[in-house]
Amino acid sequence: MSKVALVTGANKGIGFETAKQLAQAGVTVLAASRNEERGLKAVETLKVQGVSVTFLQLDVDSDASVQAAYDYISNKYGKLDILVNNAGIIVEEGHFGDNNVTTIEEKAFRQTFDTNFFSVVKLTNKLLPLIEKSEAGRIVNLSSILGSLTLHSDPDSPIYASKLFAYNTSKTALNSYTIHLAAKLAGTNIKVNSAHPGWVKTELGTDAAPMSIEDGAKTSVALALLGSDGPTGKYIHLGQELPW
């Protein structure tokens, strides 16, 4: 059986491209989307391009949906080799050049953490027994350079002025999960890493971003296909380690 991958938020942007590139590499890909119509449309778009993936409806904020995904993967494949936690949101008002730490509304803060952090932990821990059945399990958490405390605390860093509090700190928390989970799984065949895709031309990144979506997916794909000598518990962008 080929490797089996689950990519969340695969109906658009980096998630869509990650699913595409993994499928082109010979991986059996489950392209997950909260919205069924958009997910099926994405799968059809890939089919027209000659790329075959399977749609899986998955709302990462729903316990029932997460359980259904576990049951489907377990019954259909009996294992999961690759989990790419790509789904994420930004709901707070403002621009990345703002510092809204004193004005952010609690609802936006909680909503951001529910999807970008708590749901990732919930889904990953739920699927971990299936990943443990893989000969080379790989977990990729889609973070951002905006989660780096080292760079945020350095006035000379390129991201110093970019302080949308909810989004940035949700990615910092996600990085912490990467470190803790990698330590927990040390000595096993599972590798866990955080990926910074770069500033990419997506809905979030806007057309002002310098990187294409194709290039933005490369870090996730590389970490998903790491060999046995690859890193674990690291924060990576295009093969280079970032400071936590």
167 is catalytic: yes
Tokens of 105: 């509304």
Q: Pick the catalytic residue: 70, 77, 160, 167?
A: 167
With both helix axes pointing from N to C terminus, report the angle between 165-184 and 119-131 in degrees, rounded to the nearest 10.
Answer: 20
Q: Which own/partner contact pairs does 58-62 have at CB distance under 8 Å and 24+ positions apart?
A: 58/8, 58/32, 58/33, 58/34, 59/34, 60/8, 60/34, 60/87, 60/115, 60/119, 60/120, 60/122, 60/123, 61/114, 61/115, 61/119
Torsion of CA 183, 184, 185, 191, to 10 degrees: -40
- Which sequence positions are flagged as catalytic? 167
